[in-house]
């Protein structure tokens, strides 16, 4: 199982792995030892699409070399790229033996068995998945449309040697007997992503995600809590709550404040030390949620705010809301609730119609915002989006120049923000160890993968251990990365 893209895709891969294992398959570490290579693709932007195609081609090369020691019989594409393009992807990439959509996920084991047996799978014709669910959010719970990452339980399979159900490897996946989560951890690290919801009801003019991920659907709190307990049993000490829009959680369940009540329950799960929320829509981030994230014990004060721009004119063309004043006001609320909160965002530059004044407005906002990390993306047309039809397009060189300009600015600003944390007391979740006795992990303000890391100096006595939370003081920085000295507290 090869996973590309975001943390949401990682959850989907682990659901697929759980379903495959329940269906009698065994996950192997070495691709050369696999009968089937499943590539969970990303279809977000051009670079991600290219990475997905390249990975499928690499897997096909592995299959072609099966006669020289490998055994791969099939290469299967799943995930967002496969769902978004379906038969078109299959026609343009004959090296893949099958292209499976989200509707295939519940029966993934049967699908793979037929593909390995040489049967031809006819890929789906892509459609707008928003049309598969009721318009009214409260009516969506009764839908039987498959939603990746929302699996509840499956009955246990007969133990397969080396699988999570094998008595020799119990603990690697679900329990050996009784119902088990539709999930099989593919990473033994101390952080685990936990899906709150899937899909999105917003209509941002640049984004194609709702069309292939579907309308917004919350998971039931009982399912989220059950999976949180299961993840804690598997060694997860930090839960990373993911969705396309976490601020909408609960709206289709009749309570838009459901996340505020769920967070303390997740933080109270035995074994869980930190809960982190991702992807907040600024226009939907209400004061109660800011307060809940800022001061709930066990929930880290971390705000992943999707600003995308600061110019009111550009934001309206994006079908979004906001301006520098409202965004800075939100950041004031955040820092009033939690003065040391981590704040990250993403911005798009070179959007159709963006003027020099709009760009300056964005830059002025970034200076005033003092965020820890800002991702910068140059605009490009996405198939099927409203913005692809807009006039006022900037040429590629201009978009690239603007992206480089803003990237240079945020690199300087983010480095300055990191330097402001020198002398700050932090708790670092250890995720890897160095041969010199140092350890690398993340402080509370650092999200997985994208927000930098904190390196811990070697302790005076004993050794660091993966999964430990180590109290430390920040002593220096390297860009957004921190170097910290342990102060003795470990849990």
Annotated binding site: 6, 42, 80, 200, 204, 207
Q: Are 345 and 330 in contact (CB under 8 A)?
A: no
Give strand pairing partners of 40: 3, 78
> Token pair for residue 38?
């499943």
* DSSP per-residue codes, 92-139: H-TTSSEE--GGGGGGHHHHHHHHHTTPPP-PPPP--GGGGS-SSGGG
CA neighbor of 263 nearest in space, from 233, 230, 239, 232: 239
Q: Is 16 helix (H, G, I), strand (E, B) or coil?
A: helix
Which helix (H) or strand (E) is 347 found in, with range? strand 342-349
Work out the end-to-end distance of the chain between its first and last CA atoms, rounded to an integer number of angstroms. 33
> Token pair for residue 148?
């990746």
Q: List strands edge to edge, sheet with 302-304.
A: 302-304, 342-349, 373-378
∠ CA(119), CA(19), CA(55), 5° rounding? 65
∠ CA(338), CA(189), CA(28), 5° rounding? 150
CA–CA separation, 150 vs 139, rounded Å? Answer: 17
Q: Is 274 helix (H, G, I), strand (E, B) or coil?
A: strand
CA neighbor of 431 nearest in space, from 227, 171, 183, 237: 237
CA–CA separation, 318 vs 386, rounded Å? Answer: 9
Give strand pairing partners of 485: 473
Q: List strands edge to edge, sheet with 2-3.
A: 2-3, 36-41, 74-79, 98-99
> Token pair for residue 351?
């959007």
Question: Would you list which residues are annotated within the binding site for [4Fe-4S] cluster?
Answer: 6, 42, 80, 200, 204, 207
* Neighbour tally for 83: CB within 10 Å: 28
* DSSP per-residue codes, 348-400: EES-TT--HHHHHHHHHHHHHH--SEEEEEE----TT-GGGG-S-PPPHHHHH
Q: Are 291 and 336 in contact (CB under 8 A)?
A: no
């Amino acid at each position: 199982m090869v996973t590309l893209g975001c943390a949401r895709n990682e959850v989907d891969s682990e659901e697929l792995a759980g379903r495959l294992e329940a269906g009698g398959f065994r996950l192997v570490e070495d691709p050369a030892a696999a009968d089937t290579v499943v590539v969970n693709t990303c279809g977000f932007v051009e670079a991600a699409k290219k990475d997905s195609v390249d990975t499928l081609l690499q897997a096909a090369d592995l299959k072609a070399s099966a006669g020289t020691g490998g055994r791969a019989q099939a290469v299967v594409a799943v995930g967002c790229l496969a769902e978004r393009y379906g038969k078109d992807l299959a026609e343009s990439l004959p090296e893949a033996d099958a292209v499976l959509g989200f509707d295939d996920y519940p029966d993934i084991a049967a699908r793979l068995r037929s593909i390995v047996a040489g049967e031809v799978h006819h890929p789906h014709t892509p459609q707008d998945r928003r049309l598969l669910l009721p318009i009214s959010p409260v009516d969506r719970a009764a839908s039987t449309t498959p939603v990746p990452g929302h699996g509840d339980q499956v009955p246990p399979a007969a133990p397969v040697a080396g699988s999570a159900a094998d008595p020799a490897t119990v603990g690697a996946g679900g329990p050996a007997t009784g119902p088990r989560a539709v999930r099989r951890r593919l990473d033994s690290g101390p952080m685990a992503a936990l899906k709150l919801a899937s899909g999105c009801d917003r209509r941002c003019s640049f984004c194609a995600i709702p069309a292939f991920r579907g309308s917004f659907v919350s998971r039931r709190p009982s399912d989220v809590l059950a999976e949180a307990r299961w993840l804690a049993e598997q060694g997860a000490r930090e839960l990373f709550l993911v969705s396309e829009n976490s601020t909408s959680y609960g709206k289709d369940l009749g309570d838009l404040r459901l996340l505020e009540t769920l967070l303390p329950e997740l933080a109270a799960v035995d074994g869980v030390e930190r809960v982190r929320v991702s992807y907040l829509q600024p226009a939907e981030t209400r004061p109660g949620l800011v307060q809940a994230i800022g001061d709930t014990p066990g929930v880290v004060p971390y705000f992943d705010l999707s600003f995308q721009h600061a110019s009111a004119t550009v934001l309206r063309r994006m079908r979004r809301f906001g301006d520098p004043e409202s965004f800075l006001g939100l950041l004031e609320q955040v820092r009033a609730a939690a003065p040391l909160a981590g704040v990250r965002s993403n911005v798009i530059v070179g959007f159709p119609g963006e003027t020099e004044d709009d760009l300056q407005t964005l830059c002025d906002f970034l200076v005033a915002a003092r965020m820890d990390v800002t991702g910068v993306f140059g605009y490009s047309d996405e198939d099927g989006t409203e913005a692809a039809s807009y006039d006022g397009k900037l040429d590629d060189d201009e978009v690239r120049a603007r992206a480089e300009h803003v990237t240079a600015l945020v690199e300087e600003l983010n480095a300055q923000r990191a330097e402001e944390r020198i002398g700050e007391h932090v708790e670092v979740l250890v995720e890897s160890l160095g041969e010199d006795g140092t350890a690398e992990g993340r402080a509370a303000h650092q999200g997985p993968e994208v927000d930098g890391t904190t390196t811990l100096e070697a302790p005076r006595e004993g050794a660091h251990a993966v999964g430990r939370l180590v109290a430390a003081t920040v002593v220096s920085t390297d860009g957004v990365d921190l170097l910290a000295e342990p102060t003795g507290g470990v849990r």
